[in-house]
């Protein structure tokens, strides 16, 4: 009896729709080191209906745009609501190569408080990438100190202006990749036991994704 979950596939895979799948495969190969899995399924007009790339322990499926089948690319939609997160050996070199191959730099590479060095790009096909290398193991205690330092100026979770100004890299919360991760990480660690015991914060634990207008979010303020 076949396994419901094939052994040679991860449980979850992104399926990218692009304009120019062959070029996209070349880009992902040159920039991220992806390799083709199996054969491409090519239509009579030369477009790619299905192809797979191996990227480390992950698999990416992709196809050319085909509105008749409901496959629409970010180029046609005017953007993407999804961000691809990828860890690489050298984030600086990878981001530089992506830009040299036509990607748009959305945020320069910088060290973040949670131990990753991160840069954001939009590839030539309209997909967003959050590219990172892990450079530091940060303990919960150190994380709490760093986040509390950001909150020490009276930062109130839910205030977009203050959150944008205080977080490393000045990441716009409304549109840039991983804005919600910043919010979740900040809330999680700023409300940790170590921060509370140090008298740095008076807060109610707020699960990731909670609305900035909720009562729990409104209670996340610093002591003055």
Flag whether pLDDT at 37 surpasses 80: yes
Give Rg (Cα) of the chain.
Answer: 21
**Nearest C-alpha neighbor of 82 from the set 109, 97, 60, 64:** 60
> Does residue 204 or residue 108 have the better pLDDT?
108
**Nearest C-alpha neighbor of 163 from the set 181, 182, 144, 140:** 182
Distances from the Cα of 64 to the Cαs of 9, 16, 61, 79, in angstroms?
A: 21, 9, 11, 16
Show me where the domains of the chain are located. 1-65, 80-137, 140-222
1-65 and 80-137 have identical folds:
yes
Flag whether pLDDT at 204 surpasses 70: no
Tell the CATH topology of 80-137. Answer: 3.30.720
For the entire predicted model, the pTM comes to 0.70
Q: How many helices (H) and strands (E) does the chain have?
A: 8, 10
Flag whether pLDDT at 88 surpasses 70: yes
pLDDT digits (tens, 9 = 90+) for 45-69: 999 999 999 999 999 999 999 988 8
Give the span between the Cα atoms of 18 and 84, in whole angstroms.
14
Flag whether pLDDT at 83 surpasses 50: yes
SS3 label, residue 202: strand
Q: State the DSSP code for 48.
A: E
Flag whether pLDDT at 122 surpasses 90: yes
Tell the CATH topology of 1-65. Answer: 3.30.720
Q: What local confidence, expressed as pLDDT, does residue 153 receive? A: 53
**Nearest C-alpha neighbor of 96 from the set 24, 23, 31, 178:** 31
Q: What average pLDDT score do residues 10-38 get?
A: 98
As beta bridge partners, residue 111 has: 117
Give the span between the Cα atoms of 102 and 98, in whole angstroms.
7
Q: What average pLDDT score do residues 88-105 get?
A: 99
As beta bridge partners, residue 202 has: 221
Neighbours of 62 (CB within 10 A): 22
């Amino acid at each position: 009896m076949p396994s419901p979950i094939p052994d040679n596939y991860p449980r979850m895979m992104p399926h990218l729709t692009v304009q120019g799948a062959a070029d996209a495969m070349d880009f992902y190969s040159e920039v991220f080191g992806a390799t083709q899995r199996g054969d491409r399924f090519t239509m009579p007009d030369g477009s790619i209906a299905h192809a797979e790339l191996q990227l480390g322990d992950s698999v990416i499926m992709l196809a050319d745009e085909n509105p008749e089948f409901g496959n629409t690319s970010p180029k046609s939609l005017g953007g993407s609501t999804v961000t691809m997160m990828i860890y690489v050996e050298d984030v600086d070199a990878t981001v530089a190569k992506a830009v040299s191959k036509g990607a748009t730099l959305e945020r320069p590479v910088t060290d973040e408080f949670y131990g990753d060095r991160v840069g954001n790009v939009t590839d030539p096909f309209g997909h967003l990438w959050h590219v990172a290398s892990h450079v530091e193991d940060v303990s919960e205690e150190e994380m709490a100190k760093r986040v509390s330092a950001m909150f020490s100026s009276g930062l109130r979770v839910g205030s977009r202006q203050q959150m944008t100004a205080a977080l490393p890299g000045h990441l716009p919360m409304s549109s840039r990749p991983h804005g919600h991760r910043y919010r979740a990480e900040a809330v999680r660690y700023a409300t940790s036991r170590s921060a509370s015991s140090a008298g740095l914060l008076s807060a109610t634990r707020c699960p990731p994704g909670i609305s900035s207008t909720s009562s729990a979010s409104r209670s996340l303020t610093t002591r003055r």
